[in-house]
Each structure stands twice: as C-alpha cells, then as structure tokens.
C-alpha cells in the first residue's frame, strides 16, 4: 500500500508534542483523513485537552475511551493468574497495556473504514513491536505507519520547530521545559526511563517517585488488608466487593502509602539492547504476593510447580508483544484451568515497603492439619511408608556410587 493509497488512519493520540506532530505529519505525508484514539487506562491525566487539540487540528472523528475496567479484568488479571514476572522482577505494567490499545485501534479502524493505523513508539523500544504484532494478529492486512521509522525529526528541538512552523497547538512553555524522565502510567504502574537513569549506577532522587512514599518515611504502624479471591481473581478488599479497576486503584493507594512497589531494574529489551527503568507497582506487588499465598493452600503441588515452570515463557510472550499469539492463548487456557479452586481470603501486612502474608484461608484448601501436625496425628500418616519411598528414589544414586561415579 503506497502513501497515496492510504485514505484514513487511526492514530493512537495522547495530545502531547509527539503525537500532535505525528497527526500533522500524517496529513502532509499521506494526504489522508485522521481518526484519533485516546485510551483512558488509568494514567491519571485529564484527557479532554486531547479532544480539544484534535478538534483544533481539524479532526472530525475523535475517540476517547474509558478502558480501565477492561484493562484490569481482561489483561491484568489473566496475567496475574500466572504470577507473571519478567526476568524475575518486572510486573509488566507497560507491556500488558499495549495489546489492549492495539485491539482498540483495530476495532476503530473497522468501525470507521480506516485502512491504516499509526503510533508514536520510537524505533528503539519494545512498544513498536507490541503494537504492531497485535495489529497484524487482529487485522492481517492493515497498514501500520510508524513515523519514528520514517521521518527525519530526530530530536525534541526538531519536533518543536515543526510544531511552530505548522501552528500545531502545543503548550510550548511546558514542552520547552525538558522532563528529566520518560514516563508511562496506567492503573497497574508508572515507569521512568531516560535522563540520569541511563547511568545504571545513578540512584534516582526521591522526587522522581510519584505514587509511593519512601519506605523509611512510611507510617510506623502497619496496614492490614484482607483480599478475597474467586477462581484466581481478586474480588473484594476487607469484605467489600469491588470492580477490578476499583480494587486495583484501592491497593495502589494503600501500597503507595506504605512505600510498597518500587523497583529499579536493568532489563533486556526484545530489540537486543539493555535498558534501565524504574517502576512503581504498589497494587500489583500486593496482588502477586497474595495470589501466590492463596495458591499455596489450594493448588496441587505438581500443578503449582508446572505453573512456575511455564511462567517465564508466558512473561516473555507478554513482554515481547505476543499477547494475541496462539501460544499465549494456549498457555492462558492451561493457567485458567488451574484456577478453578483458587478461592479464599489472604491477609497481608503492609509495612515500610514490605508485603508480608500473615494469614490465608479457603474452603478449597488442600492443607490438612491432621496430617501436617507435629503433635499426635492419630494414625493419619504412617512414617514407615517413607522408608521404601526414600530407598527407591535413592536407587540410581546408590548404583552409580558403587561404580565410583
């Protein structure tokens, strides 16, 4: 599909400098009609200015969608059923939002008859991969326009000059004050990259963090929270049933107030480079701990261990943009099947940056106190059974030892 054959493009639009320039650049370069799409996934920003800017730039079809509940229910929660961590630490807050945005871009393209989509991801990061893999999986013939891979606007200064030349409505006072970090936020997390963080030895200043107090400044008394689970998903806090988005927002506030959820990480990007980022994921940090606790009561040992073996592969699929792939869907089916009896309540203590599980209960518990007790078990377990079990498991090692191996 050539530039001249593109008639209408759906642009993932924030209203900021980059995407405002992209909007005008698409009109100039492709001579096409633009549809803007702005997603509210809990980033905490006022989104109506994006509508006003798009209107001022002549856009006729403007989508501003509240996707918070869908984001947590259909993306965050399924991922947490797998206890997902990328490279042992990262809770994938940015990664998990991209397949939802890609899905909505394609839905709007179908609704409006657009033949292309566009995004503002740079050519260095993971987001370009995540957006485009999702788009192609959902609409194989769609045209994807990634301006950062095409244009010659390679710096903030050239973007601002382009905006001034074309009278693009940008808050120049704000745009001219270079932010020290590149940030991305949604209901699951907020991330920080760039600036001084490009030195892996640099400790971020306290002023950088937005959602959490420093653990050493957190309250001197702990906060206790009871989290109820049904089929692996959190459904209530302290006995109050809540929607997925409301529940995560509440945990973010409680965790942040207690210094929970900070992470400083050097990660391996899919494109091949290492990247240093800092993250705040207070609610997600609590949920992960609590979910593993309720699974410890309700999951069979081998099922739990198999889930742990599959999790790194699942995490890589999410991180690298393969949410809509058949292999992720297959893994999800297995994970969801394991959650049928993951029901109950977990009590956690939040204190000075830590999350400690201090209680768990479930009607589906596999914990049998009469067997596990250190007291008299009244014949529930026969210790003599262990002798043959141990000898059989040692047989191969005994044979090898006799041969000096």
What is the full per-residue pLDDT of the chain (405 aa) written as tens digits?
A: 455 589 999 999 998 889 999 999 999 999 999 999 999 999 988 898 899 999 999 999 999 999 999 999 999 999 999 999 999 999 999 999 999 999 999 999 999 999 999 999 987 889 999 999 999 999 999 999 999 999 988 887 899 999 999 988 776 445 545 558 889 999 999 999 999 999 999 999 999 999 999 999 999 999 999 999 999 999 999 999 999 999 999 999 999 999 999 999 999 999 899 999 999 999 999 999 999 999 999 999 999 999 999 999 999 999 999 999 999 999 999 999 999 999 999 999 999 999 999 999 999 999 998 888 788 877 777 888 889 999 999 999 999 999 999
Same domain, 202 and 161: no
Same domain, 279 and 252: yes
21 belongs to a structural domain: yes
Work out whether strand 182-185 and strand 190-193 pair parallel, antiparallel, or are unpaired.
antiparallel
310 belongs to a structural domain: no
* Annotated catalytic residue within 127, 212, 262, 276: 127
**In this structure, what CATH number is given to the domain that contains residue 150?**
3.40.50.620
Q: Which residue, 178, 196, 225, sits at the end of a domain?
A: 178
Q: For residue 17, give the nearest of 128, 125, 147, 117 by alpha carbon.
A: 147
Same domain, 293 and 377: no
309 belongs to a structural domain: no
249 belongs to a structural domain: yes
Q: Tell me, yes or no, if 18 is annotated catalytic.
A: yes
| 26, 118 contact by CB (below 8 A) | yes
What is the reported pLDDT for 171?
66
Cα–Cα distance for residue pair 405/402, rounded to 1 Å: 7
* Annotated catalytic residue within 65, 182, 184, 292: 182
Domain total for the chain? 3
Tens digit of pLDDT for each residue in 222-254? Answer: 999 999 999 999 999 999 999 999 999 999 999
317 belongs to a structural domain: no
Contacts 24+ apart (CB under 8 A), 230-233: 230/343, 231/339, 231/340, 231/342, 231/343, 232/77, 232/80, 232/81, 232/291, 232/295, 232/336, 232/338, 232/339, 232/342, 233/77, 233/80, 233/81, 233/339
142 belongs to a structural domain: yes
Work out whether strand 33-40 and strand 8-12 pair parallel, antiparallel, or are unpaired.
parallel
Same domain, 114 and 157: yes
Same domain, 16 and 131: yes
192 belongs to a structural domain: yes
Q: Which residue, 129, 149, 178, sits at the end of a domain?
A: 178
Same domain, 190 and 118: no
Q: Tell me, yes or no, if 329 is annotated catalytic.
A: no
Work out whether strand 190-193 and strand 262-268 pair parallel, antiparallel, or are unpaired.
unpaired
Same domain, 190 and 53: no
Same domain, 142 and 209: no
User: How many Cβ atoms sit within 10 Å of the Cβ of residue 49?
Assistant: 15
- Provide the β-strand partners of residue 278: 192, 264
What predicted TM-score, i.e. pTM, was given to this entire model?
A: 0.93
Q: Tell me, yes or no, if 40 is annotated catalytic.
A: no
Same domain, 60 and 157: yes
Look-up of token digits 């002549």? 58
Same domain, 86 and 151: yes
Same domain, 138 and 69: yes
Q: Which domain holds residue 223?
A: 184-299+341-361
Same domain, 44 and 172: yes
E-only strand ranges, 13-118:
33-40, 61-66, 116-118
What is the reported pLDDT for 201?
98
* Surface-to-core class of residue 310, CB atoms within 10 Å of its CB (0-12 exposed, 13-18 middle, 19+ buried): middle
What is the reported pLDDT for 178?
54
* Annotated catalytic residue within 20, 81, 98, 360: 98
50 belongs to a structural domain: yes
What is the token pair recorded at 111? Answer: 């609704």
Work out whether strand 274-280 and strand 143-145 pair parallel, antiparallel, or are unpaired.
unpaired
**In this structure, what CATH number is given to the domain that contains residue 238?**
3.90.1260.10
| 192, 202 contact by CB (below 8 A) | no
* Annotated catalytic residue within 14, 18, 212, 275: 18
What is the reported pLDDT for 173?
46
What is the reported pLDDT for 380?
77
Q: Which residue, 160, 178, 196, sits at the end of a domain?
A: 178
Work out whether strand 182-185 and strand 61-66 pair parallel, antiparallel, or are unpaired.
unpaired
Cα–Cα distance for residue pair 130/147, rounded to 1 Å: 16
What is the reported pLDDT for 3?
55
What is the reported pLDDT for 384?
87
């Amino acid at each position: 599909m050539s530039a001249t054959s593109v008639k209408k493009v759906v642009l993932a639009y924030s209203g900021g400098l980059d995407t405002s320039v992209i909007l005008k650049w698409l009109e100039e370069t492709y001579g096409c009609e633009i549809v803007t799409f702005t997603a509210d996934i809990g980033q905490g920003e006022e989104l109506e200015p994006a509508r006003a800017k798009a209107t001022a730039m002549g856009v006729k079809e403007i989508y501003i969608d509240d996707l918070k509940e869908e984001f947590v229910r259909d993306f965050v929660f399924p991922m947490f059923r797998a206890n997902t961590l990328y490279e042992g630490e990262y809770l994938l807050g940015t990664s998990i939002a991209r397949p939802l945005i890609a899905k909505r871009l394609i839905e709007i393209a179908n609704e409006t008859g657009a033949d292309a989509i566009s995004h503002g991801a740079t050519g260095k990061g993971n987001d370009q991969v995540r957006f485009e893999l999702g788009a192609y999986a959902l609409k194989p013939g769609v045209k994807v326009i990634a301006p950062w891979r095409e244009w010659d606007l390679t710096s903030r200064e050239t973007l601002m000059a382009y905006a001034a030349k074309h009278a693009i409505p940008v808050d120049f006072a704000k745009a001219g004050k270079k932010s020290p970090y590149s940030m991305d936020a949604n209901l699951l997390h907020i991330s920080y990259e760039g600036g001084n963080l490009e030195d892996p030895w640099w400790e971020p200043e306290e002023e950088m963090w937005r959602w959490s107090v420093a653990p050493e400044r957190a309250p001197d008394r702990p906060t206790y929270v009871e989290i109820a689970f049904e089929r692996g998903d959190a459904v209530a806090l302290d006995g109050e049933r809540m929607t997925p988005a409301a529940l995560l927002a509440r945990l973010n506030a409680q965790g942040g107030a207690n210094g929970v959820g900070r992470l400083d990480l050097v990660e391996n990007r899919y494109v091949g480079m290492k990247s240093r980022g800092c993250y705040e994921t207070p609610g997600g940090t609590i949920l992960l701990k609590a979910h593993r606790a309720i699974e410890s009561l309700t999951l069979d040992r081998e099922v739990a261990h198999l889930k742990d073996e599959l999790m790194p592969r699942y995490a890589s699929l999410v991180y690298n943009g393969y949410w809509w792939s058949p292999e992720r869907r297959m893994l999800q089916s297995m994970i969801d099947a394991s959650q049928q009896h993951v029901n109950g309540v977990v009590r956690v203590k939040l204190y000075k940056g830590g999350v400690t599980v201090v209680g768990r209960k479930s009607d589906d518990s596999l914990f049998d106190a009469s067997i596990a007790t250190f007291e008299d078990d009244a014949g529930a377990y026969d210790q003599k059974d262990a002798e043959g079990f141990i000898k059989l498991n040692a047989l191969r090692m005994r044979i090898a030892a006799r041969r000096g191996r």
